[in-house]
Amino acid sequence: MTFGRQVLAAARLDLAEVRRSRWLWFCGAAYLILAVVFVLVGLRESTVMGFTGMGRVLMSLCNALLLILPLLALTAVASVIGRARDDGSLELLFSQPLSRSAWFVGVSATRYAVLVLPLVALMVGLALYGQLAMGQRVPWAFVVRALAVSASLLAAFAGIGLAISTVVRNPARVTTYVVLAWALGVALLDFGLIGVLLRWRVDARAVFTLAAMNPVQDARMALLSGLEPELSNLGPVGFYLANKVGASTLYALGVAWPAVVGAGAWLFAFVRFRTSDLV
């Protein structure tokens, strides 16, 4: 059996497991609930950050997704290897003509697709609903920007979750590390870092560098970089970087850096999974 066939077989098996565990429906329901809430409260003619109507809905939804997507990605993948090890699935599968590499690639691709595809369908469907049913002008450039940023952020935390899954075996500790990774990503935004600066008088350049290393902060700055670079919109870190490197560079950083973080974490997890003891 070729490597491609092995990956496809592993992906089909994992997709069946995802459907049995109802994770796919939970992920889609989380996106849908957020969309409905913001449609109900957002389709008004007040101006928020330069957007009105459908633009306001999309902007508000994406700001909420920046905090929720990392947690969804972590919980989707952080326990996949430990669960397969505990229920004997790995031992059974690897007694068949299926390599470790193919299984890991297939599972990674399936879990990432389960996270990204419902989000793409929701964002495009929401935009089309606003345009066709509500007569709203849809900022399609912002929709594309938001999807690119969200996909990159999901890749970052999916990779981190897989790294946790390969290193940590105890389910309780896995949960602890998931919450810790999510909390660090969310807490180390502008307000958390400025608090560190004020409390310990850290050099401002160190604070900005630390902020730029946080995938959630980069995604937030990339999402807002198309707006007018105002302090009230971007926050102190984003405002400084927008004026220092420019909005286009900020957007590129916000898409590229989370993808790099995710790829690095995934590669670490891949090597660790291939070489470690699975029993």
Q: What is the pLDDT of residue 159?
A: 95
Q: pTM to 2 decimals?
A: 0.86
Range in 20-34, 150-164, 165-179, 181-195 the model is least confident about: 181-195
**Percentage of the chain modeled with pLDDT above 90:** 23
Sequence-ordered list of residues with C-beta below 8 angstroms from that of 64, at least 6 positions apart, any chain? 34, 38
Segment 124-142 mean pLDDT: 78
Q: What is the pLDDT of residue 130?
A: 74
If pLDDT is split at 50, 70 and 90, which confidence band does 210 have?
Answer: confident
Name the more confident of 95 and 219. 219
Q: What is the pLDDT of residue 161?
A: 94
Measured in whole angstroms, the distance separating CA 104 from the mean position of its chain's CA atoms is 19
Looking at mean pLDDT, say which of 35-49, 70-84, 207-221, 236-250 comes out highest.
70-84
Closest CA to 222 of 268, 177, 156: 156
Query: CA–CA separation, 157 vs 159, rounded Å?
Result: 5
Name the more confident of 154 and 242. 154
Segment 184-204 mean pLDDT: 67
Q: What is the pLDDT of residue 66?
A: 85
Segment 194-217 mean pLDDT: 71
| pLDDT at position 235 over 70 | no
53: DSSP letter: T
| pLDDT at position 51 over 60 | no
The chain-wide mean pLDDT, for the chain, equals: 80
CA distances 186 to 121, 153, 166, 179, 233, Å, are 25, 12, 23, 10, 17
| pLDDT at position 77 over 50 | yes
Query: CA–CA separation, 254 vs 212, rounded Å?
Result: 9
The residue type of 230 is E
Name the more confident of 232 and 239. 239
Looking at mean pLDDT, say which of 7-21, 22-36, 186-200 comes out highest.
7-21
Segment 166-173 mean pLDDT: 88
Q: What is the pLDDT of residue 46?
A: 45
Strand partners, 51: 48
Q: What is the pLDDT of residue 270?
A: 94
